[in-house]
Amino acid sequence: MNNLTISEAQKKVDEWIKSIGVKYFSELTNLGILMEEVGELSRLMVRKYGEQSFKESDKGKELADEMADVLWVLFCLANQTGVNLTEALEKNFEKKTTRDATRHLDNEKLKS
- Closest to 86 in 3D by CA, of 5, 3, 4: 5
Domain that holds residue 48: 6-84
The whole-angstrom separation of Cα 70 and Cα 68 is 5
Taking only the tens place, the pLDDT of each residue in 47-75 is: 999 999 999 988 899 999 999 999 999 99
The structure's pTM equals: 0.89
Question: Distances in Å between the alpha carbon of 74 and those of 15, 16, 27, 99?
Answer: 15, 14, 11, 25
pLDDT tens for the chain, 112 residues: list them.
Answer: 589 999 999 999 999 999 999 999 999 999 999 999 999 999 999 999 999 999 998 889 999 999 999 999 999 999 999 999 999 999 999 999 999 888 888 899 998 7
Residue 89 lies in a domain: no
**40 close to 58: Cβ distance less than 8 angstroms:** no
**Tally of domains in the chain:** 1
Q: What CATH number is associated with residue 60?
A: 1.10.287.1080
CA 17 distance to own-chain centroid: 18
Residue 46 lies in a domain: yes
Residue 25 lies in a domain: yes
- Closest to 28 in 3D by CA, of 80, 70, 64: 80
